[in-house]
A and B are shown apart, each in its own frame.
Chain A
Amino acid sequence: MRTLRTAAAAALIVSLTACGGATSGAGEDEPSAGAKGTVNLAINPWVGYEANAAVIAYLLEKKMGYTVEKKELKEEIAWQGFETGEVDTIVENWGHPDLKKTYIEDKKVAVEVGPTGNQGVIGWYVPQWMVDKYPDITDWKNLNKYADLFKTSESKGKGQFLAGDPSFVTNDEALVTNLKLHYTVVYSGSEAAIIKAAQQAAAQTKPLLFYFYEPQWLFAKEKYVRVKLPEYKDGCDADPKKVACDYPDYVLDKIASKKFADGNSTAYQLVKNFKWTNDDQNLVSDYITNQGMSDEQAAEKWVNEHEATWKPWIPAGS
């Protein structure tokens, strides 16, 4: 495979020199059209995404004979991969209208491949015990009243708002500023770190105000309550610096590189057909996170138990 690629790239250099200049995608893998080739699957850093990817990868490899290369990438970087050919598809995309504009409309290197069936919710949450104790905490207007409860070593004398990975879709800093909240946004660095903090908050009744989202397996184990922010209205988040409203609901979707889509391989069709519910995803996430299964084992278990769900995704003739 690689040797072939080297030869191909060498040939490419020669031909490029002849016709002048190398484009940025030069020398990259040709799309795996037709033949059962390799599918480059971006893996964004949260377990829900991983669940989608696990099942898709499992089906591609075990049921359809493809090779799947998983690439641990943050969202933006995964999008850049469409341009370079490093990434064929992203299987859980949260909005990102700006990226869609750049890569789909302007550069025309990616295309939308339809919804995953998952409903995405982003919000600010507190553990249930806090609502029991301070019933009015679920309104953002009262957050300043409770700021002292949330003080930590990192919050500089204000309350701490715990955010996740810096690459996630967030408006939290703008919200804190624009709603004049006495809070500091502290980035835990990853989904796992937020989950850990949330679990501790529930188990040890520690105060915590944090960024969280659905689909999310943890909601099946513990209760967390969403804090009401000013209601979302169309366009209220147009300027990321002036946002003062809650997050919208997201219809999560899939994106593929133009080359991958144009190849219209059975792999592409599977990605296109893939559609499941939040419960499905939470189940697989739970397997991965809490049952000590690898991605592959989790996918295998789910696939064995849900044939009816995935059978229709497999394109005819594969």
Chain B
Amino acid sequence: MTATVPPPPVLQPGGRVLAAASDTVVPARRGRFRTRTVAAAMVVATVVAYLLFRTDGAADSSDAAAFRFFDSVRDWVDANRDTSPFFLYGLNYVRLGVRLLVDAVQAALTGLGFAGLVAAVAAIGTVLAGWRTGLLALGGFLAFGVLGLWEQSVDTLVLTVSAVLLSVLIGVPLGIFAARVRWVGATLRPVLDVMQIMPTFAYLAPMTLLFLIGEPAAVIATMIYAVPATIRITALGISEVSPTAVEAATALGSTRWQLLSKVRLPLARTTIALAVNQTIMLALSMVVITALIDAPGLGQNIVNALQRVNVGAAFDAGLAIVILAVVLDRITTNAARRTGVHRSRRQRQARWIFVGAGVVVVAAAALVSIDPENVPGYSFAAPVNDLVGWIELHWYDVTEGLKNGISAGVLDPLETVLVTTPWWLFVVAVAAFGTLISGWRAALIAALAAAGLAGLGLWQHSMQTLATVLVAIVLTMAIGVALGVFCARHDRLATGVRPLLDAAQTMPSFVYLLPAVALFGASRFTAIVAAVIFAVPPVVRLVERGLRDVPPTVVEAALSAGSTPRQLLWKVQLPMARGGLLLAANQGIVMVLAMVVVGGLVGAGALGYDVVAGFSQRELFGKGLAAGLAIVLLGILLDRLTQGFHTSKGPRR
């Protein structure tokens, strides 16, 4: 039995596909000196311009043209939802179709009953991914019963499965097209870029506008969130198929369809399985957030806990989410790994016997009716709440001091500077520095996004959000790089930390708010803390990988030249891992933005608050939608500026 697993593509959490980080960056040697002088001159010019032209940072009006426009859109939709053909024959059918899908999945899963579903998942795990995974699945699903969260977990699973089915149905064909038809790929790329930087929060309001609240809107929102990963990774898999194999098959007279079905798809199947895996992970984290628009499931428990500041209750639900994520992840990654493994005829026969046995067991279990409520239960709520209470009591001065220190010492001054910068100066600065860092193309897009923020009438809130994001990203990078370096140097530590990072990355952003709220109350700092917790794990990973990718021969050479470990790190490893670091910064910044915005739920204010208020107060709807758009623009701005780190500095032709 030999594995032919191709090296997995480099995936960022969020399913972005990147070229290997290590070879994307070639430090620019020539012109470094000139660049430095130009940069210094630009900094001076910006400071002078700021001092000359700074404004008093007036609050945003509550009545900008953009808000009124969105309000009028809302009014039109409300008035025409049941009359306009666009809805009657279009969106309402979409809604109805998705509703049917959800109901069908729900009927299938709940029809099995507690014992049946547990057995089914265990059987699927065993057949697809081996008995270890099957056992994990068994234990995991039983745990939902033990935690007393069976129904909610199943609801979450139903929505996830529905959204994943839709994503695969839409994403895989699109991915194939994107890889095979040049203009489709070229058109999709920027669209997918934007979809992937879009913080989850930003699309809830438009979804309710088009599809109302409830499961269909939730599933569609989730699908939109997850499908870019499906498309991207599928396209990657298809375009990576060995051209010789394709040529050989063509030379034998295959039709296009035969090439696709007999060569391209089979050769890309491991990568496509990976695409499904990523899609599931993303869908799961989004489904939880859609509780805000009335999706059932574990998200409801989290929202509820958030409203009651009940960390313990959220802990149970969060644990259930992590378990669900781990089970689904293990099943799909192991299944993906196994697609590349050849089985002998015997093994294949054994597998069919397995499948048969599984079906029998599941059928038998489905007939057994066990009420999950009768499973002996255990909740972590009480001990966790006790712990939180203890920390609140004993660490109050520390937490309060930290919060006030960072807020007054860093956040407020930065916010003041940004808010009092005239919008045109900001746009010019973005354009100028952007050109320097990322090339004029990226800078142009970033500058347009910056101008858009002003145009939306949300300047102050955008700058406040930006300030919070910047502080959070600095903290994230500081902590992430330190931990990453540590992990790269201590193998034991790295293996110990890895499962923690895994779990952390499968957790929906939402869950991180709770401990932060419990410790720091309602404040921007809470959002910063949550964002840091959320974004540090991927940063640690990327940094660690970047460092480990430094060729051992180089390290050896440096050591033999007599470098101390410290010199090795600062003079060799970190500079050479620059690609990984910059990638981590880009990735971190996008995640931090997403989380800071969600922080609007817990007093972080600014754009996040506008979005929340927008879908909870009628007269604020337009502003909320505009804020959603502003968040997207902010995301594009930050992403373009930092993406340049690892694309524009590559070797130029």
Contact = CB atoms under 8 A, between A and B. Distances in A.
B522 A187 contact: yes
Given A6-B103, A86-B294, A76 B615 contact: yes
B605 A167 contact: no
B637 interface: no
A189 B522 CA distance: 7
A77 B213 contact: yes
Interface stretch (B30-38, B43-51, B106-114): B106-114
B interface majority secondary structure: helix
A23 B213 contact: no
Given A21-B92, A24-B82, A81 B294 contact: yes
B571 interface: no
Interface string A73-117: 111110011011010000000000011001000010000000000
Given A73-B294, A187-B603, A192-B309, A26 B616 contact: no
A312 interface: no
Contacts of B292: 74, 77
Given A27-B96, A187-B603, A98 B111 contact: no
B96 A13 contact: yes
B103 A74 contact: no
Contacts of B618: 76, 98-99, 102
A13 B107 contact: no
Contacts, number: 167
B89 interface: yes
A81 B62 CA distance: 27
Contacts of B307: 45, 72, 165, 190-192
Interface residues of A, number: 55
B545 interface: no
Interface string A231-252: 0000000001100000000000
B539 to A, nearest CB: 26
A165 B601 CA distance: 8
Given A10-B100, A154-B605, A20 B88 contact: yes
B517 A9 contact: no
Contact of B616 (A2, A21, A74, A191): A74
Which of A3, A6, A77, A166 has the most chain B CB atoms closer than 10 A to its own CB? A166
A16 B580 CA distance: 55
A290 to B, nearest CB: 12
A9 B106 CA distance: 14
A154 B603 contact: yes
Contacts of B525: 153
Contact of B404 (A20, A74, A153): A153
B603 A188 contact: yes
A303 interface: no
A190 B308 contact: yes
A153 B523 contact: yes
Interface string B101-131: 0011011001100000000000000000000
Given A22-B93, A23-B88, A190 B212 contact: no
15 contacts: A9-B99, A9-B103, A13-B100, A24-B87, A74-B292, A77-B616, A81-B214, A154-B524, A166-B616, A186-B603, A187-B522, A188-B603, A189-B306, A190-B307, A193-B602
Given A27-B95, A76-B617, A193-B309, 5 more contacts: A2-B106, A5-B103, A6-B104, A166-B617, A241-B62
Interface of A: 2-3, 5-6, 9-10, 12-13, 16, 20-24, 26-28, 45, 47, 71-77, 80-81, 83-84, 86, 98-99, 102, 107, 152-154, 156, 162, 165-167, 186-193, 196-197, 240-241
Kindly list the 8 A-B residue pairs having the minimum CB-CB distance in the complex, ordered from nearest. Answer: A21-B88, A167-B616, A153-B407, A22-B92, A188-B522, A166-B613, A74-B616, A192-B309
